[in-house]
Amino acid sequence: MSDAIDRLVRESRPELGTREARDVNWTEVDRGLFGRIEAERRAERAALKSSKGRLWALVAGGLAAAAAVALIVGKAREPRTMDPVQVVADESAGSVVAIEGDGQLMIDGKPGRVGAELHLGDVLETHGAQATIERPGKLTVVVEQGAKATVARTQGALVLALDRGAVEAQVVPVPSGEAFAVDVGPSRVAVHGTHLRVARTGDHVVVDLTEGVVSLGPAPRIGSTLGSLVTAPAHAEFTATDAEGTLVVSHDALTVRAAASFVPVGPSRASLPALAAAPVKSEPADTRPPSSSGAAPRPDVRSPGSSPGRAATMLAEPDPEAAIVAAVRACVASRPHADNVTVVVTTTVRLELRADGSVQSARFDPPVAPDVNGCASGPIYGTHFTHGGSLSVPVDVRVPSSAP
């Protein structure tokens, strides 16, 4: 009988589904697919625009972020720890603590090894591998595969000039000033203590910020970066040649790339120099939701938008339907779940609206988990429409948004 199965398998391998795949109405699929993609893009653009508006309103309004603005401006007038004129000693940029993958790390064109010390001017290139660099007690940086970066400064804050690819860093907060920066062409992403990833493709730069706050702006010759402040969670994109002019920011937690899991690099570890050369355990970052970086040290600058409720409120004003979708997504995203599980929720929020546009009743169809229901009900009932009547809002959530 097993032979029969083998024969059936052999016969089916080239044939089963081949004709059906050939007969697919591709015109129909193309139209539906690219129509949906265009709709996605429109929604993203709308959300990014409104987020950008809110960011500037936040800064101008003198809310929590304004304190950080003052700090940065103040720091710029103080003696500069990052002034290259003052750089006399070649302070170590850190050391390579792990190289993962089949490829290699090149330092100045030569194969680098675990334990290698990095210095000012070193050019790092990863081919088919990612390298983890640690500056004990200060930061851990993963140079992802296919990246090229130069150590541009080591005195005080470490500055990497990113030519291509991506780096992801977990930075211990510093009491003042900048702890780490990534230069992308003439622009700089300066870090005050955070978990972030900076990716560069040509002049297109993407910053995903899961913790803390960064400044984005022209790289200063000396002193701190006087740019736009971006607080976590945030997904920011800009063109390297004009960071501030092209900056768009989304604070929707679901648009933010999940943080990789890093071993803590706090002061306690710094006091144990023997650990500095130990390989950093690296887990697949894609399987982690944005808010679950359990190993990450908490920065002193807290995100004003890290709770689901906050995310929902932030998105409520410009588009009530988008606000409801964002609220449900944030509530699903905030639920605890195993690292290797992708949660997919497809539901529709059925709304009955009063004549004044307020929400009279709401129900999920099909129902969602009670805690998601409870979490989302506040933002949903707080939403205000410009019309009354009935409304259905489809919601499609996938957490984490990555696959493998």
Partner 1 sequence: MPDEERLIARAVAGETLAFRQIYEQHRSSVARLVYRMLGNRGDLEDVIQEVFVQVYKSLKDFRGQAKFSTWLHRVTVNVVLMHRRAARSRPVFSDEPPAEPVLRSRDIGPDEDTERRERVRAFGRLLGRLADKKRIVFVLHELEGIAPGEIAKIVGAPVLTVRTRLFYARRELEEMLRDEPSLAAMQLSFSKVSGAGGEP
HEC states along 221-241? CCCCCCCEEEECCEEEEEECC
CA distance 197 to 188: 13
Q: Which helix (H) or strand (E) holds 244?
A: helix 243-246
Q: If binding is defined by CB under 8 A, does position 294 make contact with partner 1?
A: no
Nearest to 324 by CA among 316, 334, 314: 316
Q: Is 308 left (phi over 0), alpha (psi -120 to 50) or beta?
A: alpha
**Cβ of residue 71: shortest distance to partner 1, in angstroms?**
32
DSSP-derived 3-state class of residue 313: helix
Q: Does 402 bind partner 1 (CB under 8 A)?
A: yes
One residue of 344, 360, 365, 381 binding partner 1 per CB under 8 A: 344
- Asked whether position 103 contacts partner 1 by CB under 8 A, the answer is no
Of the residues 82, 145, 182, 185, which one makes contact with partner 1 according to CB under 8 A: 145
342 binds partner 1 (CB under 8 A): yes
Residue burial 107-133, b: 16+ Cβ < 10 Å; e: rest: beeeebeeebebebebebbbeebbbbb
* By CB under 8 A, residue 89 contacts partner 1: no
161 is an interface residue for partner 1 by CB under 8 A: no
Does position 20 interact with partner 1 (CB under 8 A)? The reply is yes
Only segment of 17-25, 55-63, 148-156, 289-297 that touches partner 1 (CB under 8 A): 17-25
Q: What length does the chain have? A: 404
Q: Beta partners for 169?
A: 141, 196
Establish if 283 lies at the interface with partner 1 (CB under 8 A): no
* 26-60 helix and 64-77 helix, angle to the nearest 10 degrees: 70
Between 46 and 344, CB nearer to partner 1 = 344
* Residue 22 lies near partner 1 (rule: CB under 8 A): yes
Per the CB < 8 A criterion, the answer to whether 385 and 272 are in contact is: no
The one segment of 108-116, 144-152, 172-180, 263-271 that binds partner 1 by CB under 8 A: 144-152
- Which CB, 242 or 286, lies closer to partner 1? 286
Binding footprint of partner 1 on the chain (CB under 8 A): 1-5, 7-9, 11-13, 15-18, 20-22, 24-26, 28-29, 32-34, 36-37, 40, 144-146, 201-202, 204, 206, 257-258, 284-286, 340-342, 344, 346, 366, 398, 400-404
